[in-house]
Amino acid sequence: MRAYRMPAEWEPHLATYLVWPHNRDTWPGKFELIPPIFARMVAAIAQFDPVRILVNGESEIGSVREMIAAHAQPTDQIEILAIPTNDSWIRDHGPIFVNRLETGARGGPIQIALDWKFNSWGEKYGSFELDDVVPRRLAERYSFEVVEPAPTMVLEGGSIEPNGAGSLLTTESCLLNPNRNPDLSRAQIEDYLKTYLGVSNVLWLGDGIAGDDTDGHVDDLARFVARDTIVTVVEDDPADANYTALSDNLERLRAMRDQDARPFRIETLPMPRAVYCEGTRLPASYANFYIANGGVVMPAFDCDADSIAAATLARLFPGRRVVPIPSSDLVWGLGAIHCLTQQHPLAK
Active site residue ranges? 339
CB–CB of 316/225 below 8 Å? yes
Could you tell me which residues come within 8 angstroms of residue 278 by beta carbon, excluding any fewer than 6 positions away? 29
In sequence order, what DSSP letters do the residues of 127-192 get, joined into one string?
A: --HHHHTHHHHHHHHHT--EE--SS--B--GGG-EE-SSSEEEEEHHHHT-TTT-TT--HHHHHHH
Cβ-contact 186, 177 below 8 angstroms: no
Phi and psi torsions of 145, nearest 5°: -85, 135
Q: How far apart are CA 77 and CA 85, in angstroms?
A: 22
Pairing state between β 96-100 and 111-114: antiparallel
Task: Give the integer Cα–Cα distance in Å for 92 and 290.
Answer: 14
Q: Which residues of 308-320 are buried (b: 16+ CB within 10 A; e: fewer)?
A: ebbebbeebbeeb
Helix axes 61-69, 34-46, angle to 10 degrees: 70
Q: How far is residue 190's CA from residue 264's CA, in Å, rounded to a whole number?
A: 20
Rg (CA), the chain: 19
Give me the phi and psi of 46, to 5 degrees please: -65, -15
CA angle at 146 for the pair 6 and 289, rounded to the nearest 5°: 40
**C-beta separation of 208 from 214 below 8 A:** yes
Residues 6+ apart with CB under 8 A from 127: 86
